[in-house]
């Protein structure tokens, strides 16, 4: 199967990656990362990016950040969209210092959209954490009041 990932036909290479991923082969992720950097077919790199967009972890984020430097604008845009989908705010500085300065207007626009979405997700997470904290604080106060009333 690994040999199929090096086939001259990009369709065969893609199907090999999908198969290895489905059977959870340990070679699947390293192969995807390698193909993302070296495969000559931009549409295949984009498909791999879309597959990685449903994952998380430092290796995935690093691979996608590297893909934001791809020679093809469509691949760079796909990488930004995948980072947006993952929603990890830790990539924001790399986007601000890289794709936001891209030569292509479309890439800069997607970078700005991605940064806006990441900021919105971060703000929402902070608000949800604050709401949970307030609810827990109220529950603790109510429990303390009930305990104090029970002692009287």
- Residue 112: count of CB within 10 angstroms of its CB: 15
Residue 3: its pLDDT value, please? 78
Whether residue 67 contacts residue 79, with contact meaning beta carbons closer than 8 Å, is answered with yes
**More confidently predicted of 1 and 51:** 51
Q: What is the pTM of this model?
A: 0.85
**Average pLDDT score over the chain:** 94
pLDDT at res. 66: 97
- Check pLDDT > 90 for residue 64: yes
> What is the fold, at CATH topology level, of the domain defined by 4-140?
1.25.10
């Amino acid at each position: 199967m690994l040999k199929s990932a090096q086939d001259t036909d990009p369709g065969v290479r893609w199907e090999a990656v999908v198969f290895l991923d489905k059977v959870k082969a340990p070679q699947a992720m390293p192969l995807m990362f390698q193909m993302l950097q070296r495969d000559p077919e931009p549409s295949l790199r984009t498909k791999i990016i879309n597959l990685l967009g449903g994952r998380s972890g430092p290796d995935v984020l690093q691979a996608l950040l590297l893909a934001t430097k791809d020679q093809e604008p469509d691949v760079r845009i796909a990488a930004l969209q995948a980072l947006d989908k993952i929603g990890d705010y830790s990539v924001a500085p790399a986007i601000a210092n890289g794709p936001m300065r891209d030569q292509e207007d479309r890439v800069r626009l997607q970078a700005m959209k991605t940064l806006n979405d990441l900021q919105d997700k971060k703000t929402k997470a902070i608000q949800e954490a604050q709401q949970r904290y307030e609810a827990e604080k109220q529950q603790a106060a109510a429990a303390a009041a009930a305990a104090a009333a029970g002692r009287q």
